[in-house]
Amino acid sequence: MSSRPRRLGCRGVAFLASVVVVAIMVLVALHDWKLGGWLVIENGIVENLQVVLIVATGVLAARQGWAAKRRGEPFVFEVAVVAAMTLICVGEVDLDRVLFGVKVIHTRFFVSPKYPLGWRLLAVLVVVGAPTALGIWLLVHIRELWRACLRGLLEPWGQTATFGIGLFMFVQVFEHRIGRLPWQPSPYFFEEALELVAAINMFVGLAARY
């Protein structure tokens, strides 16, 4: 029988990292209830860590897509991942609210005369035009994207990343109910913890794809 140690796969790495991070958050909250709530404040430590992991996932996908393009292979999957990470990142940091004090996607921004016309036209181009063009391009290449997703689901890296994306979507759908759960130092504690676990799985999955 071989005495070589068994390597910890990407699913094991993601699980271990998730358990460690959540355990630290819970221990901090149990030790100091206020400090536990402070961890998950808007633009706090946990949210910033999520953003770092999400940006890193997008960068990995972009590098993989560029490598695939240079090899003459389809890269629609990588483009879809970069687009998804960009949307998640913008939503997490509320970049539009930081810059303009209001959600750019809100109709009030587009029609409000207190914002320069140039900024509003640029917002329409970026918020409406770019996603529309990207969506059309993805629809044109939907078969390649579907095949790439199916291939990914057969691999450990794809299963890990898919779990992360699925968990993130679950939190977005049920965030209000999650916020009403008892035994948390902040209404956002469980939500932010789950989103951090999702970000870890997405990053580990894309990193293991190499």
Distances (CA, A) of 41 to 46, 91, 170: 8, 15, 21
Helices (H) and strands (E) in the chain, counts: 12, 0
Separation of alpha carbons 148 and 146, rounded Å: 5
Q: What pLDDT score was predicted for residue 169?
A: 95
Taking 3-state DSSP, the helix, strand and coil percentages for the chain, each rounded to the nearest 5, stand at 80, 0, 20
Q: What pLDDT score was predicted for residue 101?
A: 53
**Are 110 and 123 in contact, with CB atoms under 8 Å apart?**
yes
Residue type, 62: A
Q: What pLDDT score was predicted for residue 116?
A: 63
Q: Single out the residue of 2, 21, 24 nearest to residue 13, CA to CA.
A: 21
Q: What pLDDT score was predicted for residue 89?
A: 86
Alpha helices in 154-185 (DSSP H): 156-173, 175-179
H or E stretch including 76?
A: helix 76-93
pLDDT tens for the chain, residues 1 to 210 = 445 555 778 999 999 999 999 999 999 999 999 999 999 998 889 999 999 999 999 999 999 999 999 999 999 999 999 999 998 887 777 655 555 555 555 556 555 666 666 666 666 666 667 778 888 999 999 999 999 999 999 999 999 999 999 999 999 999 999 999 999 999 999 999 999 999 999 999 999 987
Separation of alpha carbons 66 and 82, rounded Å: 12
Q: What pLDDT score was predicted for residue 134?
A: 86
CA dihedral 178, 180, 185, 186 (to 10 degrees): 80
Q: Any idea which residue has 């633009």 for tokens?
A: 43
Instruction: Give SS3 for 154.
Output: coil
Separation of alpha carbons 199 and 197, rounded Å: 5
Q: What pLDDT score was predicted for residue 11?
A: 92
